[in-house]
Amino acid sequence: MNRREFIRLSLKAAFVTATSGSLLTLATAFICTINRRDITLAGLPPAFDGFRIALLSDFHHSPWVSATYIRDVVQLTNGLQPDLIALTGDYIHRGKNWIPGCMAELAALRSKNGVVAVLGNHDHYENAATAMRDGLRQARIADLTNRGITLQRGGETLHIAGVGDYWREKQKLRRALEGSNRKESVVLLSHNPDYVERIRDDRVGLVLSGHTHGGQCVFPIIGAPILPSRYGQKYASGLCQGPVAKVFVTRGVGASFPPIRFGCPAEVALLTLRRKTTS
């Protein structure tokens, strides 16, 4: 083999390797995993010990996140048979025309206590929020923006509440907590985890969030180079601690542009609430 042939074959091999790596990274953006996690809450009523919440966020239905993929995620979630399904926003990437397709798939979600939701910042772009709320209602998904519901089990209660998106709406936490029991932990939906830094009401025991996508691309040592958060890597993903409440940040189901993930797989988070006991 002469020098020219060697260089030609080397360049060809490098191109194939780079292309294969890029395609693999793109493909893994749409392989959804299950992230199982136990979360201990001091104020959790005994009857709700073991209560399971499936948390889904950041679908970003768009030209690169198909309805078929969302359908597969819905089937995956239903197979977990959760007690409650919580959706924390960014159902579409941008534009009202993507709402019907996404809502048609999410309408098939099933759990013992229904499906609850709040909106994300992308659901407001191009004045889509009103149409999105209509879509949630038609899909029989409870919009918990600045309000709450109370679940009952074994004569005890668990308050599930939500607030408006931190970037695009007002957050009316006092209204959302109306009817909650002072001695019991409230589970709060907030698309953006940065909002947890503003919470001072100790009734909130756990905040469920998305928004950051885990960074989408996470590298050894440096972590995620790009995160839409004022607090750096603190609320990238997983279980974090705010000033008052715990917050679980899911990596999300879909991907924003560019539609790639590296070291940060898409997920459905299955959270099992556990009661903190004193020894």
Mean pLDDT of the chain: 90
pLDDT-based confidence at residue 242 (cuts at 50, 70, 90): very high
The model's pLDDT over 99-122, given as tens digits with 9 standing for 90+, comes to 999 999 999 999 999 999 999 999
Least Cα distance to 208 among 246, 165, 152, 244 occurs for: 246
Report pTM. 0.89
The model's pLDDT over 143-169, given as tens digits with 9 standing for 90+, comes to 999 999 999 999 999 999 999 999 999
The model's pLDDT over 31-76, given as tens digits with 9 standing for 90+, comes to 899 999 999 998 899 999 999 999 999 999 999 999 999 999 999 9
Q: What percent of the chain has pLDDT over 90?
A: 77
The model's pLDDT over 78-102, given as tens digits with 9 standing for 90+, comes to 999 999 999 999 999 999 999 999 9
Q: Which residues pair with 33 in a beta bridge?
A: 267
Q: What is the pLDDT of residue 258?
A: 85
